Structure 1
Amino acid sequence: MPETDIGERHMFRKEWLAGALVLGIVAVVAAIWLAPPAREPAPELDLTMLSGDQRALSEFRNGPVMVVFWATSCTTCVAEMPEIVELHETLAPAGLTILGVAMSYDPVDRVQALVEQRQLPYPIVIDHDGEIARSFNEVRVTPTTVLIDADGGVVWQRIGLLDFHRVEQEVRRLLPSEQSA
């Protein structure tokens, strides 16, 4: 067998292996890029509602859950409440649950007064000891909003005033009725 044949076969094998390696890398990158992102699970928490009732966070997972950390002294929190109410009224019938979480430093009587004054129709949670805020990546700044999907995965966590048009679009993609359409 001439030496050139061995050299050509060796070269062909090297080119084939290089091509296969490139295809393998492309396949892995595509799988990672196209796969849905892995979501950090929302913490399992027992919640004390403003009414005094005890509920587990997981009880609210019949659809997406938006957890809004706020304080009575937070002007941005109070300013965005009408838009949160509107989002609640628009998407709660389709499966969105909004939970307002009053920070631990807020006295319950002040929380109750603001809820009544603003006529907040969504459930309010009292974070007596700060455990809820700690469980969501040490929330310290209000408003902080967390969106959880129906499977209990944290979709995102944002600090500050929200773009409610964008939030509504994101929530609609997570609603059971939108996924079956």
Structure 2
Amino acid sequence: MTLRTDKTPTPNTPVADSCPDPARRRLLLGGAGALAAVGLGGCLSGNGLDLSDATVRDLDGKEIALDSIKGSPTVITFWATTCPGCVEEIPHIQELHDTYSPRGVDVIGLAMSYDPVEQIKKMVEQKDMTYTIWHDTNEQGAQAFGPVRVTPTFFILDSAGRIEYQKIGLIDMDRVRGILDGLTA
């Protein structure tokens, strides 16, 4: 079978379609998106994310090396005080902390750079957030993880800093529990 690229069809010879139908276009774009996502995974080394040069701050302003999270399984969620999905997710992140912190999992909320620290502190107090809260003041955390541009964005890392799960938007708690159970077994 020969594909013709000119627009003059001849009997029984298919013509290459320069404008696929909408369903085909969606399929092609979806496949391209999936390939792009797989390609991003190739930026990671077998040793996990490169966090060596990234720093964030705790709520007292102390600088924290982001690679300090390696060595333990870690839940990290990028969030903002003005993000409704992030606020809705707080009780679930707190539940993960309460359940998995005793099993060696670090649970961290990393507030986006544009959030004022006083607003973050106020929400931590209002919502009784007892898990670790850091502030990505210089956007190095968001860059190291992607870059992260949308909140909430949630990650589970193994103890070497390899991504086991990533989700933009609200998390699937059953799936998250299953992954964390596997990492702490």
- The TM-score normalised by the length of structure 1 is 0.72
**CA distance, structure 2, for counterparts of residue 112 and residue 46 of structure 1:** 19
SS of 2:159 mapped into structure 1: coil
Residue 118 of structure 1 is matched in structure 2 by 127
Segment of structure 1 superposing worse, 43-52 or 87-96: 43-52
Alpha-carbon separation, structure 2, partners of 1:83 and 1:104:
23
Following the alignment from structure 2 to structure 1, what is the Cα–Cα distance between the partners of residues 77 and 176? 13
Structure with greater helix share of residues = 1
Pick one of 34, 45, 49 that aligns with 1:42: 49
Matched, 1:170 2:179: yes
Aligned to 1:74: 83
CA RMSD of aligned residues (A): 1.6
- Which of 136, 144, 152 is 1:135 aligned to? 144
Aligned partners of 1:43 and 1:117: how far apart in 2?
34
For residues 17-56 of structure 1, give each alpha carbon's deviation from its aligned partner in whole angstroms, at most 9, with x where no partner exists: xxxxxxxxxxxxxxxxxxxxx8572232322111222222
Partner-residue secondary structure (3-state), 1:101: strand
* 148, 151, 161: which one aligns with 2:170: 161
- 1:86 pairs with 2:95: yes
**Structure 2: which amino acid aligns with 1:108?**
V
The 2-side partners of 1:170 and 1:39 are apart by 19
Q: Does 1:63 align with 2:81?
A: no
Q: Is the 8 A contact 1:145 1:157 kept in 2?
A: yes
CA distance, structure 2, for counterparts of residue 121 and residue 85 of structure 1: 7
Alpha-carbon shift at residue 143 of structure 1 (Å) = 0.3
Post-superposition offset of 1:131: 1.6
SS in 2 for 1:41: coil
CA displacement at 1:161 relative to structure 2: 0.2
Following superposition, which runs of at least 4 residues in structure 1 exceed 4 angstroms of deviation? none
Offset of residue 151 of structure 1: 1.4
Report the 3-state secondary structure (helix = DSSP H, G, I; strand = E; otherwise coil) of the residue aligned with 2:121.
helix
Q: Residue 113 of structure 2 aligns to a residue in which SS?
A: coil
1:43-91 Cα shifts (integer Å, max 9, x gaps): 3232211122222233233421111000011111101101110110011
In our comparison, the structure showing a higher alpha carbon Rg is 1
- Number of matched pairs: 139
